[in-house]
Amino acid sequence: MPTIDQHAPGSFCLVELATSDQDAAKRFYSQLFSWSVVDYPMGPGGVYTMFQIGGRDAASAYTMQKEMQGIPPHWDLYISVENADAAANRAKDLGGQAMVAPFDVMQYGRMAVLRDPTGAVFCVWQPKQSIGIGVAGAPGTLCWADLNSPDPPRAKQFYESLFGWKVTTGENDSSGYLHIQNGKEFIGGMPPKEHQPPHAPPHWLPYFLVENVDSSVKTAESLGGKTLMPPADIPNTGRFAILADPQDAAFAIFQAAARG
């Protein structure tokens, strides 16, 4: 099980669930992904949940507050940066918006909540005592993320300028899907508009690695989750499905193709 001790700038470094029922979310995800649960005190009577694999952080969760009324439960994606303030200022220069200005998360790091010019929200994380996710390549770990944007060319321009990503079409791929590359690593993509959910707002969709997509879908449904897109093959790559947890937070699961 590969461990992570440092995230390169521009890489996805944390995935965080904002939920309306934290206890229900802990039951659902701990059974679906075999995550262990560690709670930390947060404010009056509240806790911040770390989901772990083998004692290393894999994801996190918190209960949405009253000021977030009207926002549905969702997964937030964090991107590692060297300086959160500089990233927030640069995002604004590029046509984005700081939804929450940079602030310190105690001794763990510094973050900001940003929105790209096409409407998708994401977070940036400047690590201090915490780098974020500490494990990869095992079932239940974050393995990819898709940006569903109404304007992929505009999003491409924004993220390439902000993080230094390369956003390109794949070789011999006529689907219009764009691949996101950070340094030498491919980390995510942007589906063309015609392949996106027709009524969903702009958003980032995290993918979690599983051993078997079909059995994971059945497990999720037995736990009260919903199938938003049934299992489908990605030629020469693997198999995936899109689900929603019992509180309607959407996420995807991915099973890598067997190597010959």
Interstrand relation of 12-19 and 36-41 (parallel, antiparallel or unpaired): unpaired
| 8 A C-beta contact, residue 17 and residue 60 | yes
Confidence of residue 50 (pLDDT cuts 50, 70, 90): very high
The CA distance from 153 to 254, in Å, is: 26
Pick the CATH number of 12-127 from 3.10.180.10, 3.40.50.300, 3.40.50.620, 1.10.10.60: 3.10.180.10
Long-range Cβ contact pairs of 29-34 (< 8 A, separation 24 or more): 29/59, 29/61, 29/245, 31/219, 31/223, 32/216, 32/219, 32/220, 32/223, 32/225, 33/58, 33/139, 33/140, 33/208, 33/210, 34/139, 34/140
The CA distance from 241 to 157, in Å, is: 28
Q: pLDDT at position 45, please? A: 76
Question: 12-127 and 142-256 share one CATH topology?
Answer: yes
Two tokens, residue 197: 């959910």
Confidence of residue 1 (pLDDT cuts 50, 70, 90): low
pLDDT value at 79 more than 80: yes
Interstrand relation of 250-256 and 203-209 (parallel, antiparallel or unpaired): parallel
Average pLDDT over residues 81-103: 98
CB within 8 Å of 95: residues ≥ 6 apart: 117, 158
Domain range summary for the chain, segments of one domain joined by +: 12-127, 142-256
Confidence of residue 66 (pLDDT cuts 50, 70, 90): confident
Q: What is the CATH number of domain 142-256?
A: 3.10.180.10
Q: pLDDT at position 260, please? A: 59
pLDDT value at 167 more than 80: yes
Percent of the chain's residues with pLDDT above 90: 84
For 16-29, what is each residue's pLDDT tens digit? 999 999 999 999 99
How confident is the prediction for the chain on average, in pLDDT?
94
| 8 A C-beta contact, residue 227 and residue 221 | yes
The number of beta carbons lying within 10 Å of the beta carbon of residue 216 is: 22
The CA distance from 190 to 23, in Å, is: 32
Q: pLDDT at position 69, please? A: 76
Average pLDDT over residues 98-111: 96
The CA distance from 60 to 49, in Å, is: 5
Q: pLDDT at position 171, please? A: 73
For 106-156, what is each residue's pLDDT tens digit? 999 999 999 999 999 999 999 999 999 999 999 999 999 999 999 999 999
| 8 A C-beta contact, residue 51 and residue 59 | yes
Q: pLDDT at position 236, please? A: 84
Q: pLDDT at position 213, please? A: 98
The CA distance from 190 to 236, in Å, is: 18
- pTM for the model stands at 0.95
Residue 31: strand, helix, or coil: helix
| 8 A C-beta contact, residue 107 and residue 129 | yes
Residue with the larger pLDDT of the pair 194 and 63:
63
pLDDT value at 61 more than 90: yes
Interstrand relation of 97-105 and 109-115 (parallel, antiparallel or unpaired): antiparallel
Nearest to 242 by CA among 211, 199, 196: 196
| Distances, alpha carbon 227 to alpha carbons 195, 200, 217, 239, in Å | 17, 15, 7, 14
Residue 149: strand, helix, or coil: coil
